[in-house]
Amino acid sequence: MKITAFNGSPRAEKSNTQIMLEAFLEGARDAGAQTETVFLAKKSIRHCTGCFACWTKTPGRCVLKDDMAELLELYRGSDIVVLACPIYTGTVTGLMKDFLDRSIPLADPHFKKSAQGLWGHVERYERLPETVILSNCGFPEQEHFRYFRSCFQYLSDIGGMKIIAEVYRGGGEILSVDSLLLKPLLYGYKRTLRKAGREVAEKRALSAALKEELEKPLIPPDRYIEEANKYWDKLLAKVPKSS
Ligand SMILES: Cc1cc2nc3c(=O)[nH]c(=O)nc-3n(C[C@H](O)[C@H](O)[C@H](O)COP(=O)(O)O)c2cc1C
């Protein structure tokens, strides 16, 4: 089984998204999956120009010459794709949005009604990968994923995406904090992510017990905010008075 993760954080290898992804993919590899990670920040992906040439002039191919053709081949050749991306202003990063927009060559312009009763586009290819959504955000509560998750739910509702698992981590900045006190906590969370990766690779779904475990706060939200404010204060104290 081939799993390809597309990491849409501008921080690429240094991202909290990548910390989550590494643990998740490790679990998938435990179950025998072959995994690959693509950092969108390291690729050339231009904005979609809305010309629809990929539907009407060169069906299935975008006329823009950048890395997207190669990425769509990788996408199509995978059994599962992980769309991994932090929350930026309530939704996906610009990198991930460009990647999603530029995925429209995977669809055919004709319309069909989805299982949810909404008109969407016909899929160009018979076989498309199943999708896992993985994200973290700065604010502590899981409720902050409401809008982000509904964006992907929409893509699923119109028929172009089959979401098999969602992994969200509020208060995600804690993942990259290097502190002895936090080590056991973060180790425990990574172990849960690893279990999730294994389960998804084995069963193409997450059990109710693991879903519940993944949603639990790592530390109480008030405590997280207190520590975050101290962190900002420390950084701001270094700013020269004239700035
Ligand atoms: C431009 C920008 C917008 C952001 N918007 C939100 C937001 O709407 N909600 C939130 O909870 N966090 C927000 N954050 C915080 C990030 O989600 C947080 O820093 C996250 O840990 C970054 O993950 P990464 O290291 O994987 O890139 C924002 C960060 C940036 C830079």
How much distance in Å is there from the Cα of 10 to the middle of ligand 1?
10
- Over range 34-43, report the average pLDDT: 98
- Over range 39-52, report the average pLDDT: 98
Within a domain: 234? no
* pLDDT tens sequence across 144-193: 999 999 999 999 999 989 999 999 999 999 999 999 889 999 999 999 99
CA separation for the pair 228, 226 (Å, rounded): 6
The pTM for the full model equals 0.97
93 lines ligand 1 (CB under 6 A): no
> Which residue has its alpha carbon closest to ligand 1 atom 20?
137
Within a domain: 176? yes
Nearest atom, ligand 1, residue 91 CA? 8
Q: Which domain holds residue 84?
A: 2-218
> Which residue has its alpha carbon closest to ligand 1 atom 31?
88
Strand order in the sheet with 162-169: 34-39, 2-7, 80-84, 130-136, 162-169
Q: What CATH code is carried by the domain that includes residue 135?
A: 3.40.50.360
CA distances from 55 to 13, 63, 98 (A): 34, 10, 18
Question: Beta 80-84 vs 34-39: how paired, if at all?
Answer: unpaired
Within a domain: 15? yes
Q: Where are the beta strands (DSSP E) in 85-234?
A: 107-113, 119-123, 130-136, 162-169
Within a domain: 8? yes
pLDDT at residue 243 is higher than 80: no
Q: How many domains does the chain have?
A: 1
Specify the pLDDT at position 242.
82
Q: What angle do CA 8, 6, 81 make, to 5 degrees?
A: 140
Specify the pLDDT at position 180.
87
Within a domain: 225? no
Within a domain: 16? yes
* pLDDT tens sequence across 106-158: 999 999 999 999 999 999 999 999 999 999 999 999 999 999 999 999 999 99
- For residue 241, name the pLDDT band (cuts at 50, 70, 90): confident
Within a domain: 158? yes
87 lines ligand 1 (CB under 6 A): yes
198 lines ligand 1 (CB under 6 A): no
Within a domain: 242? no
Specify the pLDDT at position 202.
98
142 lines ligand 1 (CB under 6 A): no
